[in-house]
Structure 1
Amino acid sequence: MSHDDVYASLTEEHPDGDARWAFGTGFEDPLHGVDTALPEGVDAAELAALCLALGDDALVAAQRLAEWCTRAPELEEEVALANIGLDLLGQARLLYARAGQVDGTGRDEDAFAYARGPEEFRNVRLTEPPNGDFAYSTVRLLVFASWRLAVFERLAGSPDPVLAAIAAKGVKELTYHRQYAAEWAVRLGDGTRESRRRMVKALDEVAPYVPDLFASDPAVRDEVMAVLREVMDAATLTFPDMAGEAAERGEHTEHLAPLLAELQSVARAHPEATW
């Protein structure tokens, strides 16, 4: 971030006036006019693996957010969480499509989402545990969005024009996701005694998954932690120490298999269906 006050940058007005809402409902094609040919010098296998991992992160996170439908504390939050989930689902679709283009298999987004078992997924573990209460989901979204935004800001300069276009669109969406979670973190952390207690508990539960985020991309660690500390200061909270070794992508919790079983159930029961 280039701002002196990171938290202020999360809540400031955006020039386009669109700071309050997710972007997943827009109809602009982020890949319109983008050359999809693999650029010279870009390793196809590495690009496909990166797109697949980032797509898996988004798909699993979107599935968890979808579970808040009819369960959020207020209707406005239900709509906001659903829109954030749709943003991530849109990112997953684009990333899966790019992975299938460059890995030589020609697989489409449905094949990646519905035809792989848990052992084939490469998402970070942070996305997998059940939602818990609203405080837990707030903390998880804050950490996830802060990290993913930092990664996408760098990928917007990728030598692959398709990945660069996906990332550039994602930066707008993830800025909102982070803002939304940061505002709720401050409201809950500096709120009632009960809301604060729940936030402290949520921070303790989320912290062990944070080192995983930097296992393959340590370059964003300082930036992400600076954002989290800034938000925690505004919320009168402290981000706990992160103990334990980081898990590599491909290592999962016991929660991923049942999540995928539900996500994939209709597609597997009707494999020839079209929608």
Structure 2
Amino acid sequence: MSDDHESIFDGLTGGDSAQWAFGTDFEDPLAGVDTTVPDGVGHAELAAYCLMLGDDALVMSQRLTEWCSRAPDLEEDIALANVALDLLGQARLLLARAAAADPGVVPALPEGSPVPPEDALAFFRDAGQFRNVWLAEVANGDFAHVVVRLLLFSTARLALLERLSASADTVLAAVAAKGVKEVAYHRDWAGRWFLTLAQGTEESRRRLDAALGELWPLLAELVTAHPVERALARSGAAVEADALRADVDAVLDQVLTVSDVPRPPLEGRLGGGRDGVHTPALADLLADMQSVARAHPAGRW
């Protein structure tokens, strides 16, 4: 070891070991992008809408990361990790857009804290401040559960992103256009596994039916318009979730038919996630996801 350093890590970091605990600083994900809010679009409404979509992606990503090392084989383990990373990237952009549209949504942190706005939104809000749907937050079950959840979630999200790529807000339009290819893969991956489980063994079919019965009612929240969506849709910046229903039903009906699975005769259950009303599962998820950031609020990330 060189006399210039007390440890090998000093040599690697230039004497600043903090970055080994917290990673290196990240650039603003919207650097160089015109974040001007279009005329006729409400700043607060746009921020609220971005929080909805960003929180959906963030919480769903966290649920998928819990599958790391637990999938049936290495290939599917990597596939789920990649899906989680795609959604995490979408979440980062959408939360950054929310903060740029209305800085007032960003939680107050200690003066001088190096935490960027999108990280503050991810790690320093309580459950009641999150706007994600219940489908994203419910606790993980077995592999059939993750397949059904991802199929329902990605089918609705893809239908949304395809329309949102024409948003009057150029930032949202760009994020949506990038996300279309990613989420199309998510949906197709889940659809293939849905068919495999449906036509596999009696046990795989039993587990699939159980997951479908639990999760199908939660789809309603993704295809029911919220007042914030309706207000923004009039300015061309958002998409009313009601408009997604026909396309979502068509895709899911096709998957169900090919898989020889009857459409669940269950009524939709409209959760309160868009208004900050959540299941206990979200608080448990956030306790894990936010623990390091809250323990070291002044750490370098």
Q: TM-score range by the shorter chain?
A: 0.7 to 0.9
> In the alignment, what sits opposite 2:249?
225
| Counterparts of 1:162 and 1:183, CA distance in 2 | 32
2:147 is the alignment partner of 1:138: yes
TM-score (norm 2): 0.79
> In the alignment, what sits opposite 1:65?
64
Shift of 1:245: 4.2
Decide whether the 8 Å contact of 2:151 with 2:187 is kept in 1: yes
> In the alignment, what sits opposite 1:110?
119
| Counterparts of 2:285 and 2:105, CA distance in 1 | 26
Judging changes above 3 Å, is the alpha-carbon distance between structure 1 residues 194 and 99 closer, same or farther for their aligned structure 2 residues? same
Decide whether the 8 Å contact of 1:31 with 1:166 is kept in 2: no
Judging changes above 3 Å, is the alpha-carbon distance between structure 1 residues 225 and 106 closer, same or farther for their aligned structure 2 residues? closer
2:292 is the alignment partner of 1:259: no
In structure 1, stretches of 5+ residues that fail to align are 1-28
Decide whether the 8 Å contact of 1:142 with 1:178 is kept in 2: yes
**More displaced 10-residue stretch of structure 1: 91-100 or 227-236:** 227-236
> In the alignment, what sits opposite 2:224?
215
TM-score (norm 1): 0.86
Shift of 1:246: 1.4
User: Which SS does the other structure have where 2:280 is aligned?
Assistant: coil
**More displaced 10-residue stretch of structure 1: 86-95 or 125-134:** 125-134
| Counterparts of 1:263 and 1:31, CA distance in 2 | 24
2:90 is the alignment partner of 1:84: no
> In the alignment, what sits opposite 1:180?
189
| Counterparts of 2:128 and 2:62, CA distance in 1 | 18
| Counterparts of 1:93 and 1:116, CA distance in 2 | 15
Judging changes above 3 Å, is the alpha-carbon distance between structure 1 residues 159 and 89 closer, same or farther for their aligned structure 2 residues? same
Shift of 1:106: 7.8
Percent identity reads 56
Residue type at the aligned position of 2:133? V
> In the alignment, what sits opposite 2:40?
41
Residue type at the aligned position of 1:139? V
In structure 2, stretches of 5+ residues that fail to align are 1-27, 107-116, 226-240
2:202 is the alignment partner of 1:193: yes
Shift of 1:231: 0.5
**More displaced 10-residue stretch of structure 1: 112-121 or 234-243:** 234-243
Number of aligned pairs? Answer: 247
| Counterparts of 2:196 and 2:52, CA distance in 1 | 32
Deviations 1:92-142 (Å, cap 9, x if unpaired)?
Answer: 000000000011338411110011000000100001112111001000000
Shift of 1:241: 2.2
Decide whether the 8 Å contact of 1:215 with 1:247 is kept in 2: no
Decide whether the 8 Å contact of 1:139 with 1:185 is kept in 2: yes
> In the alignment, what sits opposite 1:8?
none
| Counterparts of 2:52 and 2:296, CA distance in 1 | 26
